[in-house]
């Protein structure tokens, strides 16, 4: 019985796959808690602009954000995974740009907003678009953009550090 030849994976392909997986997992691990802290900070800033912010309540609010961090994965793991995979793809394909990172964070935030407020499972599709809804959309964009930027900076820092270490061990230069 003839066997089909196995596809050989080059070390470069394996390294790209590992970078994609590691970046996506880093985004999934770090993104949701950062997004939750962003959400609670935006909530406090909104109250501060209205003039109704009680400093004690704000500190308790941020403390509650830390306690609710595990719940952030329920809402933020999928958007963080999408953003992480897209950023990893840009980095691997040598098309990385911070403008693309901002675009990815904005797009993921808008998709999350539409999924929650404008699709039948998350809200009334006949909902009228008004100023309050625009503010909610802007908040969703910020809640996704801030973690995307921070996670990208963290991943790129450790990626450069890891590449320098592996080059020193093997004696090669990129």
**Distance between CA atoms of 116 and 93, rounded to whole angstroms?**
32
pLDDT, block means (10 residues), the chain with 174 residues: 68 86 94 88 76 72 76 90 94 88 92 72 56 77 92 89 62 52
pLDDT at site 165: 63
pTM, 2 dp: 0.76
pLDDT at site 40: 80
List the chain domain ranges: 11-170
Reading the block at residue 61, the tokens are 């609010």
Cβ 136 vs Cβ 142: under 8 Å: no
pLDDT at site 121: 47
pLDDT at site 126: 57
For 129, phi and psi rounded to 5 degrees? -85, 120
Q: Which residues of 126-154 are buried (b: 16+ CB within 10 A; e: fewer)?
A: eeeeeeeeeeebebbbbbbbbbbbbbbee
pLDDT at site 21: 93
Q: Diameter of the chain by CA atoms?
A: 79
């Amino acid at each position: 019985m003839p066997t089909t030849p196995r596809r050989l994976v080059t070390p470069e392909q394996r390294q790209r796959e590992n970078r994609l997986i590691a970046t996506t997992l880093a985004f999934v691990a770090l993104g949701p808690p950062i997004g939750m802290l962003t959400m609670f900070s935006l909530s406090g800033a909104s109250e501060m602009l209205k003039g109704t912010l009680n400093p004690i309540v704000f500190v308790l609010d941020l403390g509650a954000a830390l306690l609710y961090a595990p719940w952030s994965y329920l809402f933020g793991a999928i958007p963080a995974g999408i953003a992480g995979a897209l950023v990893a793809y840009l980095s691997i394909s040598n098309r990385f740009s911070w403008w693309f990172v901002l675009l990815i964070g904005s797009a993921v935030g808008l998709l999350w907003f539409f999924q929650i407020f404008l699709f039948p499972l998350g809200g009334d599709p006949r909902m009228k678009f008004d100023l309050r809804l625009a503010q909610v959309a802007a908040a969703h964009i910020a809640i996704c953009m801030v973690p995307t930027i921070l996670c990208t900076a963290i991943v790129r820092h450790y990626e450069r550090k890891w590449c320098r270490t592996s080059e020193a061990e093997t004696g090669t230069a990129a």
